Amino acid sequence: MALEMRETCERCAVSLTGDGSASICSYECTFCPDCTEALAGACPNCGGELVDRPRRKAA
C-alpha cells in the first residue's frame, strides 16, 4: 500500500507538490509547513504527531 500524496493542505487549501515540503500524521492527514507550525505539530483531526512527509521526485 503506497502513501497517499495529497495535493492540498487540509487546513488552508494551499497547493502541495510531491517534491515539496509537507507534514502528515499516521492517518495521512496532510498540512503545509505554515499550518504545521500553527498547529504546534499536532493533527487537529486525530491529535497525532505531524511529521515530515517523504518527498517524491518530480516527474
The per-residue pLDDT for range 6-36, each reduced to its tens digit, is 999 999 999 999 899 999 999 999 999 999 9
Domain range list for the chain: 1-59
**Terminal CA-to-CA distance of the chain, rounded, Å?**
20
Contact (CB, 8 A) for 29 and 35:
no
Residue 58 has pLDDT above 80, yes or no: no
pTM of the model: 0.89
pLDDT for res 56 = 85
Q: Among 3.30.70, 1.10.3470, 3.30.40, 1.10.1740, name the CATH number for the domain at 1-59.
A: 3.30.40
Confidence of residue 40 (pLDDT cuts 50, 70, 90): very high
The SS3 of residue 6 is: coil
Confidence of residue 2 (pLDDT cuts 50, 70, 90): confident
All three cell numbers of 33: 509547513
Cα distance between residue 28 and residue 10, in whole Å: 11
Contact (CB, 8 A) for 52 and 14:
no
The SS3 of residue 5 is: coil
